[in-house]
Amino acid sequence: MKRKILIEPDPILRKKCEPIEKVNDDIRNLMKDMLQTMYDAPGIGLAAVQIGVLKRLVVIDISKEEKKRDPLFLINPEILSKSENTSVYEEGCLSLPGQFAEIERPAKCLLKYVDLNGKEKKLKADGLLSTCIQHEVDHLNGILFIDYLSKLKKDMIIKKLVKHKKEIERVVV
Ligand code: GNR
Ligand code: NI
């Protein structure tokens, strides 16, 4: 089932998410919904908080072609280490529709997570995957990429989103 994505400003997006204690069918079904919502958007990553569920769950798929889908299901993801060197990507966020900015982050990271079978795994990431992982783990801690921008740029984006949300309301009512 496709879910609705929350758009900033929304206080839920600023909450800290809770770890999963047991990987069961409820969690697997929720992550299936997250993946469907992400592919439909479309996006390359989605944190559960973006659909209003305050749990430490992330789905990612950075594959380019629809036919070669390669989803990653990350439960309780934790970044163990980050590289000294950084890289810059133009980031977008499904909770910040139409907004993009160049963000500098550690180029590589080492991730620990639990998979859909409840098994602990580690993953070394670089490139877009590393950036996407850091972007998603930020969501679990209530952080959005606009928090790394100057107050002026951040305020401009929030103002646009408030206007955008009011326009959506007008269509619905
Ligand atoms: O779809 C997305 N694209 C993207 C591009 C650069 C860096 C991060 C991302 S994640 C984003 C989807 C999203 O909002 N995930 O939380
Ligand atoms: Ni995002």
Residue 149 located in a structural domain: yes
The 8-class DSSP code of residue 113 comes to E
Residue 150 located in a structural domain: yes
Residue 2 located in a structural domain: no
| Phi, then psi, of 95 in degrees rounded to 5 | -90, 0
Tokens of 144: 């959005």
Cα–Cα distance measured from residue 111 to residue 130, given in angstroms and rounded to the nearest whole number: 9
| CA 26–ligand 1 middle distance (angstroms) | 25
Half-sphere exposure of 172 (CA within 13 A, CB side): 6
Tell me, using a 6 A CB cutoff, whether residue 136 lines ligand 1.
yes
Tell me, using a 6 A CB cutoff, whether residue 44 lines ligand 1.
yes
| CA 2–ligand 1 middle distance (angstroms) | 18
Assign residue 162 the CATH number of its domain: 3.90.45.10
Beta strands, E only, 17-155: 45-47, 57-60, 72-82, 86-91, 101-106, 109-114, 120-125
Residue 26 located in a structural domain: yes
Asked if 95 and 5 touch (Cβ cutoff 8 Å), the reply is yes
Under DSSP, is residue 105 helix (H, G, I), strand (E, B) or coil? strand
pLDDT one digit per residue (tens) for the chain, 173 residues: 999 999 999 999 999 999 999 999 999 999 999 999 999 999 999 999 999 999 999 999 999 888 899 999 999 999 999 999 999 999 999 999 999 999 999 999 999 999 999 999 999 999 999 999 999 999 999 999 999 999 999 999 999 999 999 998 887 76
Residue 1 located in a structural domain: no
- What's the number of domains the chain is made of? 1
Task: Quote the domain boundaries for residue 92.
Answer: 11-169
